[in-house]
Amino acid sequence: MQVPANRPAAEEPRLTVTRPPRRRLRRALASALPVPVVGLALLVASGNLLLPLREVVTIEAKMASKRDFFQDPVVERLLMKHGFRVHITNMGSREIAKQDYEGYDVVFPSGQPAADLISRERARANRPVLLYRPFVSPIVLATYRDYAEVLTAEGVAKRLPGPAGRPMYYTLDMRKFIDLARGERAGARRDPDNGYRWDEIDRDDRVRNGNKILAQTSDICEANSAGTYLGLVAFVEHGNDAPDNEAEAEQLARKIKPLLVEQGLPSSERAETYLSPDGQSIAPVTVIYEHQFLAHQIGRQADEGATDDERVLLYPSTRFVTEPQLVALTGEGARLGELVTKDPELQHRAMELGFRARNATGGATGDELARFLTERHIPVPTTSSDDTRAVLPSLPLLERMIEIVGDCQDRADSR
């Protein structure tokens, strides 16, 4: 799609240099110009420096977790080659949608709900936006091998194909996982406000953790990953269906609230905590994006020649693939959206950072990512044909559920 820019970065005409005999040119330059200028001119004359330089346009952007892509040094270099520098203001996806974004060229929330909020507001103001979907990344539950094996022994998780005895990926039965958190286990029921704890289901003394079995999320009022996980839990609790009206949504939100807020104060960026040396003691199970885990494994393999064997992924049996949307607010933003969506080098780099790039028809594909991982001896994530594709509530209902579960308005009023 060709999108005209409203602030084109015009390239200046190239300087044509007529070359006299080399010795005479050097003598003339040396006698007439200061030494630094002589050196620069000689580089031009020898063809080792191309002048003038391309004009660089600075893109003002608000981004959530997908800033990982734009802050990558290789991506920064590739964008600079095309005349772009991206200046990022970091905040959560819902925070991006709720705050003013005048003066920005692009906003890049991590999921579709926040992008839809922005699109609707701009449409009401008769200022439509352009949306770009350069890649996708599934929501996953990141954990550590011992915890995954405890869940496997309980029948809540199942190993996916991988290295014998040491798989990197598991399927998590979301219904059984929620039941444990609610105090239901193998037909036995206890006080629903007193869910099971890790040391109560650990038969082999793998983990010594008295905390409740829950998945930690980022701030539900701000982060797309947390809001999406809320939607997954709600979908399972509602009989694999999304609520149809506000009354259903509010009742469901109050029902699942204990499963999402009894985790203590959530951090703004869970992936950083999970990958830290103390991550296992802080949050045994954490909601993140697949690309964050794969980027860690790709980097670990490149640096140390082996993957991180203790960190593994739980793929929810009820899945939702997030579709981050780059929202272009200006012509320059649209030029950036076109570039990151279609440029082969940038798309390849996205794959190297663990993203599932889209194919030429706009659909998500993991084929290239699978080949890339295989070449580097990193296990490839596999999916099960038995998995259920979750459906999130409609945007107004999801917003209402987030407000109830996170007490977002009360928190905002207290500031």
Judgement on whether residues 310 and 250 belong to the same structural domain of the protein: yes
Judgement on whether residues 159 and 79 belong to the same structural domain of the protein: no
Judgement on whether residues 264 and 166 belong to the same structural domain of the protein: yes
- CB burial of 52-84 (b: ≥16 within 10 Å; e: otherwise) equals eeeeebebbbbbbbbbbbbebeebeebbeebbb
pLDDT digits (tens, 9 = 90+) for 34-85: 544 444 444 344 344 443 456 889 999 999 888 889 999 999 999 999 999 9
4, 114, 179 from 256: Cα distances, Å: 47, 22, 11
Domain assignment of residue 38, yes or no: no
- CB burial of 330-363 (b: ≥16 within 10 Å; e: otherwise) equals bbbbbbbbbbbbebeebbebbbbbbbbbbeeeee
Greater pLDDT, 54 or 91: 91
What value does the mean pLDDT take over residues 182-209? Answer: 80
Domain assignment of residue 49, yes or no: no
- The domain tally of the chain equals 2
DSSP state letter for 157: E
Judgement on whether residues 232 and 303 belong to the same structural domain of the protein: yes
What confidence score (pLDDT) does residue 15 get?
A: 37
CA separation for the pair 253, 250 (Å, rounded): 5
CATH code at position 237: 3.40.190
CATH code at position 336: 3.40.190.10
110, 342, 355, 373 from 366: Cα distances, Å: 19, 17, 9, 10
What confidence score (pLDDT) does residue 265 get?
A: 46
Domain assignment of residue 123, yes or no: yes
Token pair 């399927």: residue: 171
Judgement on whether residues 330 and 238 belong to the same structural domain of the protein: no
Domain assignment of residue 182, yes or no: yes
CA angle (127 as vertex; 122, 132 as ends), nearest 5:
70
**Banded pLDDT at 389 (limits 50, 70, 90):** confident
**Banded pLDDT at 264 (limits 50, 70, 90):** very low
**Banded pLDDT at 415 (limits 50, 70, 90):** low
Domain assignment of residue 116, yes or no: yes
Domain assignment of residue 213, yes or no: yes
Judgement on whether residues 341 and 281 belong to the same structural domain of the protein: no
Q: Please give the residue range of the domain that contains residue 235.
A: 138-321+386-414
Beta strands in 298-372 (DSSP E): 311-316, 318-319, 321-322, 326-328, 356-357
184, 255, 274, 409 from 262: Cα distances, Å: 17, 13, 18, 19
Judgement on whether residues 371 and 391 belong to the same structural domain of the protein: no
What confidence score (pLDDT) does residue 193 get?
A: 63
What confidence score (pLDDT) does residue 48 get?
A: 41
- Dihedral pair phi/psi, residue 289, rounded to 5°: -100, 150
Judgement on whether residues 86 and 218 belong to the same structural domain of the protein: no
Q: Is the pLDDT of residue 100 over 60?
A: yes
Judgement on whether residues 145 and 250 belong to the same structural domain of the protein: yes
Check the CA dihedral 402-244-250-124 and report its sign.
positive
Judgement on whether residues 103 and 128 belong to the same structural domain of the protein: yes
Domain assignment of residue 34, yes or no: no
Domain assignment of residue 395, yes or no: yes
Judgement on whether residues 128 and 161 belong to the same structural domain of the protein: no
Q: Is the pLDDT of residue 260 over 70?
A: yes
Judgement on whether residues 156 and 109 belong to the same structural domain of the protein: no
